[in-house]
Amino acid sequence: MVPMDNPAVAQVFENIGKLLEVQGDSPFKIRAYQRVAREIDHLPGDINTLAAQDKLRTIPGVGEEIEKKIRELLATGRLNFYQRLLQELPGGLVEMMEVPGLGPKMAARMWKELGVTTLPELEAALQDGRVAALPRMGAKTAENLLHQLEALRGRKAERVPLGEARPVAEAIVAALSRASGARNVTAAGSIRRWRDTVGDIDILATADDPQSVTDAFVGLPEVAEVLSHGPQRASIRLKSGLQVDLLLKPHASYASLLQHFTGSREHNILLRERAQHMGLSMGEYGLTEAATGKLETFLTEEALYQRLGLQYIPPELREGGDEVLRAECGRIPRLVELPDLRGDLHAHTEWSDGHTTIEAMAEAARARGYQYLAITDHSAGLGIARGLAPERLREQLKIIRELNQSYAGSFRILTGSEVDIRADGTLDFPDDLLAELDVVVASVHSAMGQDLVKMTDRVLRAMANPHMDIFGHPTTRLIGQRDPIQLDIEAVFQAALATHTALEVNASPSRLDLKDAHVRRAVELGIPLAISTDAHHPDQLAQMPYGVATARRGWAEPSHVLNTGPLQELLAFLGRA
Ligand code: DGT
Ligand code: CA
Ligand code: CA
Ligand code: ZN
């Protein structure tokens, strides 16, 4: 059994409170359970530790009865009292009460007055007016509940940002690689394709004894629930809610398994059709000749694509668009790769909202083998706390020039700013100061609610300023948290061409902005791109692969990317050579 954590225990007590309320139990008892749920949720330490130290009673509100219940839960993962309640009441009520605004009292009415006890029944009753017709309910309440129900469903179907899922996948790959007998443990699916969000994590491996690997998998400490567990495949749900699928095959099938499980589904369908035309059937084991039933296996994905008469297609391009057609006639370009990058053009220090010194950031960049790093602290504008006033920026320029002397040409800190694009489209520093900087990244950080026309005018006005070199994180989206600003992106592309402004591919995993589809359009138009980390800490310079992958998903080649060039070429673009 997997030990329960604080939120899981708190949830049980919270549900007990709700179910007792549905039953009409005493308010005193109901409040006691609600209080305990809250206290457990806010505990500073692990409740399992408290139990081991015999200190459960130090939690406010926990007396003898509740302590016994907590112990039962922690020891067995179940609580008989709770199971009995669940059996006495309709099973869907707990789920119904997850709809914001639908408390126990209302749930009880739905059940007793309408016979509604599940989410789908609730949705139907909200839609056909039965809820609205209940005494003391009304159309407005029903309408609001329907809205909340739909929002809840949306949240449950939500995809997870790549930046959250990828480290989890890497940790599981590392853990499984240590498990006996597993080879070729690899994260596949949308993670390997570097899609900006993922539905679930897919991991594959090869093994002589697959059962021992699936056993290790379902026994991982982060597992909250085992969804399925067979000898060759298993699915788990982690405590974070993420689902992870594992698929195993014999060693010889590795390349086919990798190809199959990387997807995308649409890409695989295109390949399968192609194989069929060649008299082959394509599967996780390999290619089977339809006429003879003979199985062909492959050592590498390259060999598999070659057998299908195709140029190799990198995972980032496998989305079922035109990549197969292009591969057929050798038109998959050499996409940009991490080692192509010679520097980073967007970084912050403690001078604004970064966490360390200019020197520390520069050292980290040098250690990565870069030739240059642009220090682009924020301007003093409205959007950002601790932005630099013009005098402070001038001070910083002096310090950077001195530092550069010490590198004697082996490395260069580029002076710069991430200057705010004000609500009216003017930049937050005077032109004469901007003219002194090597790199001017300009970004929107305030008045993000402007309508499409206002925002687009604002950005175009900024781009018309000859000092603006790079448009930083152009849509300002935060994946899963903040929608992009309203912006006519095609107008921005045209302006970028006209004003020779580069567009940033911000590599911060929470941004990935421009996104893949926008990169592809920019590449088609020949707009220069800057792949930048926006690092606020030396460690964040290591997030560059997210930006590179996003650029690759947009078919970017080294020549499309400003910071793949040597310093002199870059300076020429910036008008500083
Ligand atoms: P996700 O999880 O929504 O971010 O996207 P994927 O691409 O990771 O999709 P997932 O997890 O459902 O499946 C992983 C891969 O397995 C998928 O990219 C291709 C392969 N696959 C799964 N189901 C099918 C299928 O029904 N047909 C084909 N051709 N391939 C499939
Ligand atoms: Ca997946
Ligand atoms: Ca999956
Ligand atoms: Zn910014």
What are the pLDDT digits (tens) for 127-147? 999 999 999 888 999 999 998
Report pLDDT for 155.
Answer: 65
Helix (H) or strand (E) run with residue 344 in it: strand 343-344
Closest ligand, as measured to the CA of 428: 4
Identity (one letter) of the amino acid at 362?
A
Instruction: Report pLDDT for 181.
Output: 83
Structure-block tokens of residue 165: 């899922």
Q: How far is the CA of 255 from the centre of ligand 2 (A)?
A: 18
Instruction: Specify the DSSP element, H or E, that contains 433.
Output: helix 431-436
State both tokens at 332: 């998959």
Beta strand 243-249 with 233-238 is: antiparallel
Ligand 2 mean position, distance from CA 231 (Å): 20
Residue nearest to atom 1 of ligand 1 (CA): 199
Nearest CA to ligand 1 atom 19: 263
Q: Which atom of ligand 1 is nearest to the CA of 245?
A: 11
The tokens for 304 are 């598999």
DSSP 525-561: HT--EEEE--BSSGGGGGGHHHHHHHHHHTT--GGGB
C-alpha dihedral (556, 559, 563, 565), degrees to nearest 10: 160
Residue 245 CA to ligand 3 centre (angstroms): 5
Choose one of 194, 196, 197, 202 to mutate for the ligand 1 pocket test, by most ligand atoms within 8 angstroms of C-beta. 202
Distance 492 CA to ligand 1 centre (A): 34
Which of 268, 270, 516 should be mutated for ligand 1, with most atoms under 8 A from CB? 268
pLDDT of residue 45: 78
CA of 354 to the centre of ligand 4 (A): 11
Ligand 1 atom nearest the C-alpha of 200 is 2
Tokens of 139: 């159309």
Nearest CA to ligand 1 atom 25: 265
Burial 123-141 (b: 16+ CB within 10 A, else e): bebbeeebbbebeebeeeb
Ligand 1, atom 16, lies closest to the CA of: 261
Compute the distance between CA of residue 537 and CA of residue 548 in angstroms, rounded to an integer: 19
Per-residue pLDDT, 153: 76
- Closest residue by CA, ligand 1 atom 14: 189
**Nearest Cα to Cα of residue 216 among 238, 240, 234:** 234
Count of Cβ atoms closer than 10 Å to residue 287 Cβ: 21
What's the 262 CA to ligand 3 centre distance in angstroms? 10
CA distance 460 to 426: 10
Burial of 331 (0-12, 13-18, 19+ CB in 10 A): exposed
- Of all ligands present, the nearest one to the C-alpha of 199 is 1
286, 295 contact by CB (below 8 A): yes
CA distances from 574 to 190, 345, 442 (A): 36, 12, 14
Beta-carbon count within 10 A of 184 CB: 17
120's enclosing H/E stretch is helix 119-127
Give the pLDDT score at 48.
87
> Which residue lies with its CA nearest to atom 22 of ligand 1?
265
202-215 burial, b if ≥16 CB within 10 A, otherwise e? bbbbbbeebeebbe
**What tokens appear for 513 in the block?**
């902005």
CB atoms within 10 A of CB 105: 11
Q: How far, in Å, from the CA of 507 to the mean position of ligand 3?
A: 25
Ligand nearest to the CA of 262: 1
Nearest CA to ligand 1 atom 8: 189
**Which of 168, 190, 235, 256 should be mutated for ligand 1, with most atoms under 8 A from CB?**
190
Tell me how far the alpha carbon of residue 445 lies from the centroid of ligand 4, in angstroms.
7
Residues pairing with 427 in the sheet:
421
Q: For residue 526, how far is its CA from the centre of ligand 4 (angstroms)?
A: 24
H, E, C per residue of 230-250: CCCEEEEEECCCCEEEEEEEC
Whose alpha carbon is nearest atom 5 of ligand 1?
Answer: 190
Return the structure tokens found at 89: 């009441």
Q: Which of 234, 240, 253, 254 is nearest to 198 (CA)?
A: 240
Which atom of ligand 1 is the closest one to the Cα of 260? 20
Low-confidence residues of the chain, pLDDT below 50? Answer: 1
Instruction: Rounding to the nearest 10 degrees, give the CA dihedral for residues 285, 291, 292, 293.
Output: 30
Write the pLDDT tens digit of every residue in 384-404: 668 999 999 999 999 999 999
Rounded to the nearest angstrom, the distance between the alpha carbon of 261 and the centre of ligand 2 is 9
The ligand placed nearest to the CA atom of residue 196 is 1
- Pocket lining for ligand 1, CB < 6 angstroms: 189-190, 195, 198-200, 202, 260-261, 263-265, 268-269
Cis omega before residue 264 (within 30°)?
Answer: yes
Distance CA(477)–CA(183), nearest Å, equals 39
Ligand nearest the Cα of residue 536 is 4
User: How far, in Å, from the CA of 194 to the mean position of ligand 4?
Assistant: 23
Instruction: Give the per-residue pLDDT at 2.
Output: 54
Distance 265 CA to ligand 1 centre (A): 5
At residue 317, the pLDDT reads: 98
Nearest-CA residue for ligand 1 atom 3 is 199
Domains and CATH numbers, the chain: 6-157 (1.10.150.110), 160-249 (3.30.460.10), 261-328 (3.30.210.10), 338-574 (3.20.20.140)
